[in-house]
């Protein structure tokens, strides 16, 4: 374990009560679909992975993958979790409620970037998961990743809170700044998935000790 860690992130959400946003069209013609385990070779190529093992582990853990294709080739992908998901950047698990889903590890093949594919994928995920009866979706991004932030906002997600996470050896400290327009029930839901068992909340501060 490294002696310290730091991450500056933003947590975004879409809720069914906000209504369905317009689909963001990509600048190229794409096809949205769920990527199944029988397409693992194509997915590994899109993710630029040398081995299939990470993808196999994800599918075995009941995670789902969705993507955009051009002429049958996966050009953009994103993973979806219901339940519990490890978030390495924040060194914690997200504990989702049964009616929630978390979107993570999205990417676009380098040759197809700057074509609006990321926002298009997120738009389709909102429609797909809402049709499956999921009323709340979460997605996170580093505050330093402006292209990702722009894509998330364009797709219709709303900023819930900004956070700064730091770990000094075993001591963890997280400072949370709530978005002014966010309603308290959504803020409470965000704290529910963010705060782990080894941590305690003191107002906007979350302090913990990792064994």
Q: What is the value of pTM for the model shown?
A: 0.97
User: Could you give the 3-state DSSP secondary structure of residue 85?
Assistant: strand
The mean per-residue pLDDT over the stretch 128-136 comes to 98
**pLDDT tens across 70-90, in order?**
999 999 999 999 999 999 999
Class of CATH domain 4-209: alpha beta
Per-residue pLDDT band for 96 (boundaries 50, 70, 90) equals very high
DSSP E strands in the chain: the ranges are: 4-15, 31-35, 64-70, 73-81, 84-87, 92-95, 100-108, 136-142, 158-168, 171-178, 199-202, 205-209
Q: Whose CA is closest to 14, among 119, 146, 147?
A: 119
Residue 1 has pLDDT above 80, yes or no: no
Residue 29 confidence (pLDDT): 97
User: Could you give the 3-state DSSP secondary structure of residue 16?
Assistant: helix
C-alpha of 175 from chain center: 20
Per-residue pLDDT band for 211 (boundaries 50, 70, 90) equals confident
The mean per-residue pLDDT over the stretch 157-166 comes to 98
Return mean pLDDT, the chain.
97
Residue 160 has pLDDT above 90, yes or no: yes
Residue 199 confidence (pLDDT): 97
Q: Answer whether 208's CB lies under 8 Å from 172's CB.
A: yes
Q: Answer whether 188's CB lies under 8 Å from 161's CB.
A: no
Contact residues for 176 (Cβ-Cβ < 8 A; gap 6+): 161, 162, 163, 191, 194, 204, 205, 206
């Amino acid at each position: 374990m490294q002696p310290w860690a730091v991450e500056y992130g933003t947590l975004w959400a879409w809720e069914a009560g906000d209504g369905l946003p317009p689909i963001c069209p990509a600048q190229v013609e794409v096809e949205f679909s769920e990527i199944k385990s029988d397409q693992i070779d194509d997915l590994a190529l899109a993710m630029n992975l040398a081995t299939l093992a990470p993808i196999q582990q994800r599918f075995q853990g009941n995670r789902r993958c969705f993507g955009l294709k051009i002429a049958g080739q996966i050009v953009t992908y994103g993973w979806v979790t219901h339940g519990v998901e490890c978030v390495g950047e924040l060194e914690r698990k997200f504990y989702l409620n049964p009616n929630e889903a978390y979107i993570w590890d999205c990417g676009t093949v380098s040759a197809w970037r700057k074509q609006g594919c990321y926002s298009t994928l997120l738009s389709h995920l909102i429609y797909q998961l809402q049709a499956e009866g999921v009323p709340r979706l979460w997605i996170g991004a580093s505050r330093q990743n402006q292209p990702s932030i722009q894509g998330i906002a364009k797709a219709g997600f709303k900023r819930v809170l900004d956070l700064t996470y730091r770990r000094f050896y075993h001591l963890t400290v997280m400072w949370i700044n709530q978005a002014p327009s966010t309603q308290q029930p959504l803020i409470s839901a965000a704290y529910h998935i963010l705060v782990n068992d080894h941590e305690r909340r003191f107002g906007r501060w979350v302090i913990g000790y990792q064994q």
